[in-house]
């Protein structure tokens, strides 16, 4: 087991190194003049561009610039964000909690419904409940997140006027801005900060703003989870041990839930990494449409305004998250399923 983890860990470092080279390579497709332009703040300084290129070594060979960049990244200096008009690393921590909050609410719902509906569908294969969930899954799979979010906004915000876009109502936002000392931002997540500060109205308001984003998210992402669970269930139910259990007269519930479902959960772990990638992509669309200023919104806004340092930072962050989850999942998988470990 230790050798397995060590090997995976070394691989992780290799992949992260590759990711950083890839990202830096993308950055380097900009000419030295264009990269120097980010240091210039007025038209008069434009004539200094050759000097800036010399000073920062922007026309040095690739590997020299790469190591210089990596050194800065390790010091926590990711550059300056035009969109946030703050250093990237500092801005990151104000946007990150908004995205994290949404994911924390959505993930359990996705897992619960995915596993529950997938199990039902697998047990009742080719019956009406299976057909309905399959059709819903394929429609959910075909819905572009941004479009679905817009339609939900049209119905709930426009027609019923119950939920509004944003993270918090304007009134409460003003209140927090005006009284910074009565409301401490412990976590940056309004739902949790509201409770910690003893202001439940803020928590409730933030929750109301989370309903539509979480709903969008769940419907688009749950399909994959459901489908994997369904095929896992079907596969397990045709195994010999299930036939044995049936033959000895074990009741249906025990066979389905205790025997088959536990094994059918394994493939769900393998696609968990894909689920995480999907939720990262999903959060971009959701945040853009619902105007929630989180990482996804920041990324889209930075892409439109050609704010390259932000794109690099978020790509790197997502790469790290993805690689670490993969490592965790591999270890988890080897722990749960001894056949993998022994190979």
Partner 1 sequence: MPQPHPRLREFKYTLYRIFRNPAAIIGFTLLLVFVTMAVLAPYIAPPQYAHNPYLMPHKGFSPTPKPPSAKNIFGTTSGQYDIFYGVVWGTRTAFKVGFFVVCIAGLVGVTLGAIAGYFGGIIDEILMRITDVMWAIPTLVLAMAIVVAFGRGLDKIMIALALVGWRWYVRVIRAEILTLRDQDFVQAAKIMGVSDAKIILRHILPNAIYPVLIMASMDMGSMVITASFMSFVGLGAAKGFADWGQMVALARNYIVGPPDDPLKFWYAIVIPGGCIVLFVLAWNLIGDALRDAFDPKVRRK
Count of residues engaged in binding partner 1, rule: CB under 8 A: 50
Task: Draw the binding track, 177-216, toward partner 1 (x: CB under 8 A; -: no contact).
Answer: ----------------------------------------
Nearest to 232 by CA among 331, 108, 123, 112: 123
Q: What is the dihedral of CA 296, 297, 300, 302, to 10 degrees?
A: -110
Choose which of 78, 123, 323, 334 interacts with partner 1 (CB under 8 A).
323
Q: Which residues pair with 86 in a beta bridge?
A: 81
Dist. CA 207–CA 203, nearest whole Å: 6
Choose which of 322, 327, 333, 336 interacts with partner 1 (CB under 8 A).
322
Q: Tokens 């959505």 map to which residue?
A: 106
Choose which of 29, 44, 85, 343 interacts with partner 1 (CB under 8 A).
29
Choose which of 4, 89, 96, 146 interacts with partner 1 (CB under 8 A).
146
Q: For partner 1, which is the closer residue by CB, 87 or 140?
A: 140
Task: For 85, list phi and psi in degrees, rounded to 5.
Answer: 40, 50
| 136 is a contact residue toward partner 1 (CB under 8 A) | no
| 141 is a contact residue toward partner 1 (CB under 8 A) | yes
Dist. CA 272–CA 328, nearest whole Å: 11
Dist. CA 283–CA 288, nearest whole Å: 8
In the numeric block, which tokens belong to residue 35? Answer: 């990269």
In the numeric block, which tokens belong to residue 89? Answer: 């690393």
| 110 is a contact residue toward partner 1 (CB under 8 A) | no
Choose which of 53, 120, 215, 288 interacts with partner 1 (CB under 8 A).
288
Nearest to 309 by CA among 97, 41, 96, 72: 72
| 18 is a contact residue toward partner 1 (CB under 8 A) | yes
Stretch that binds partner 1, among 36-44, 64-72, 263-271, 309-317 (CB under 8 A): 309-317
Q: For partner 1, which is the closer residue by CB, 191 or 225?
A: 225
DSSP H stretches of helix in the chain: 2-28, 32-37, 49-56, 62-74, 88-123, 128-142, 145-152, 170-178, 190-196, 200-237, 240-247, 252-253, 261-289, 295-304, 308-336, 338-342
Q: Which of residues 242-281 bind partner 1 (CB under 8 A)?
A: 277-278, 280-281
| 229 is a contact residue toward partner 1 (CB under 8 A) | no
> How many residues belong to the chain?
343
Q: Which residues bind partner 1 (CB under 8 A)?
A: 11, 14-16, 18-19, 22-23, 26-27, 29-30, 138-139, 141-147, 150-151, 153-154, 157-159, 161, 277-278, 280-281, 284-285, 288, 299-300, 303-304, 306, 308, 311-312, 314-315, 318-319, 322-323
């Amino acid at each position: 087991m230790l050798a397995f983890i060590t090997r995976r860990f070394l691989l992780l470092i290799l992949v992260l190194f590759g990711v950083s080279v890839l990202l830096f390579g993308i950055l380097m497709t900009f000419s030295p003049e264009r990269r120097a332009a980010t240091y210039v703040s007025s038209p008069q300084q434009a004539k200094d561009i050759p000097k800036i290129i010399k000073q920062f070594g922007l026309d040095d060979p690739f590997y020299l610039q790469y190591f210089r960049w990596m050194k800065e990244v390790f010091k926590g200096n990711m550059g300056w964000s035009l969109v946030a008009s703050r250093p990237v690393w500092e801005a990151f921590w104000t946007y990150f909690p908004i995205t994290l909050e949404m994911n924390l609410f959505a993930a359990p719902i996705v897992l619960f419904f995915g596993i529950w509906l997938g199990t039902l569908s697998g047990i009742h294969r080719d019956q009406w409940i299976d057909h309905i969930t399959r059709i819903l899954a394929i429609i959910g799979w075909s819905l572009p997140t941004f479009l679905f979010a817009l339609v939900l906004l049209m119905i709930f915000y426009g027609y019923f006027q119950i939920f509004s876009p944003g993270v918090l109502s304007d009134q409460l936002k003003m209140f927090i801005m005006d009284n910074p000392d009565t409301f401490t931002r412990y976590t940056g997540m309004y739902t949790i900060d509201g409770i910690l500060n003893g202001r439940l109205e803020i928590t409730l308001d933030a929750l109301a703003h989370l309903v539509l984003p979480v709903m969008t998210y769940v419907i688009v992402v749950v399909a994959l989870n459901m489908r994997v669970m369904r095929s896992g269930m079907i596969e397990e139910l045709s195994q010999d041990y299930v036939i044995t259990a049936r033959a000895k007269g074990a009741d249906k519930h025990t066979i389905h839930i205790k025997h088959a479902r536990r094994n059918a959960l394994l493939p769900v772990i393998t696609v968990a990494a894909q689920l995480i990638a999907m939720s990262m992509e999903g959060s971009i669309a959701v945040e853009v449409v619902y105007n929630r200023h989180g990482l996804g919104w920041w990324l889209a806004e930075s892409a439109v305004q050609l704010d390259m340092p932000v794109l690099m930072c978020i790509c790197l962050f997502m790469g790290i998250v993805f690689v670490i989850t993969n490592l965790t999942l591999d270890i988890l998988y080897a722990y749960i399923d001894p056949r993998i470990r022994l190979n």
